[in-house]
């Protein structure tokens, strides 16, 4: 199963196309831009509490049959936060000093 490649930052709603090098995801594919991860979330997913990694780039060209952005398109469904910004700030502050692998 391929990643959804969600089209936007869930915090600031910035567009994150399939080839965005500043897209970050958590283990549940929550998607944010690098700026929000670093400056607002402090590497704490506001949904699960995990950390983030760069989202892989899905190849535009079909190097192998059936495997490309064209053959397996990204999601078009925009996702937005379920929590208030104040709640997210408190959540991040509470656990940001704990390394993701220890959360």
- pLDDT-based confidence at residue 45 (cuts at 50, 70, 90): very high
Q: Is residue 18 part of a domain?
A: no
What average pLDDT does the segment 31-38 reach? 98
pTM: 0.91
Can you give the residue range of the structural domain that contains 51? Answer: 23-96
Q: What is the pLDDT of residue 1?
A: 73
Total domains present in the chain: 1
Q: Is residue 87 part of a domain?
A: yes
What average pLDDT does the segment 57-66 reach? 92
Q: What angle do CA 33, 21, 8 make, to 5 degrees?
A: 40
Q: Is residue 12 part of a domain?
A: no
Q: Is residue 76 part of a domain?
A: yes
Q: Is residue 66 part of a domain?
A: yes
Q: Is residue 1 part of a domain?
A: no
Q: Is residue 90 part of a domain?
A: yes
Q: What is the DSSP string of the chain?
A: ------SB-TTT--B--TT-TTEEE-TT--EEEHHHHHHTSTT--TTT----EEPPPPPSS-SBTTBSTTTSPPP------SS-HHHHHHHHHHHTTS-GGG-
- pLDDT-based confidence at residue 2 (cuts at 50, 70, 90): confident
What average pLDDT does the segment 85-99 reach? 97
Q: Is residue 49 part of a domain?
A: yes
């Amino acid at each position: 199963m391929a990643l959804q490649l969600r089209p936007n930052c869930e915090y600031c709603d910035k567009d994150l196309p399939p080839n965005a090098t500043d897209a970050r995801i958590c283990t549940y594919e929550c998607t944010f831009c690098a700026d929000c991860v670093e400056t607002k979330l402090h590497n704490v997913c506001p949904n699960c509490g995990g950390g983030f990694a760069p989202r892989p780039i899905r190849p535009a060209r079909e190097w192998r049959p059936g495997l490309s952005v064209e053959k397996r398109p990204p999601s078009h469904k925009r996702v937005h936060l379920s929590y208030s910004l104040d709640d997210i700030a408190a959540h991040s502050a509470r656990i940001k000093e704990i390394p993701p692998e220890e959360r």
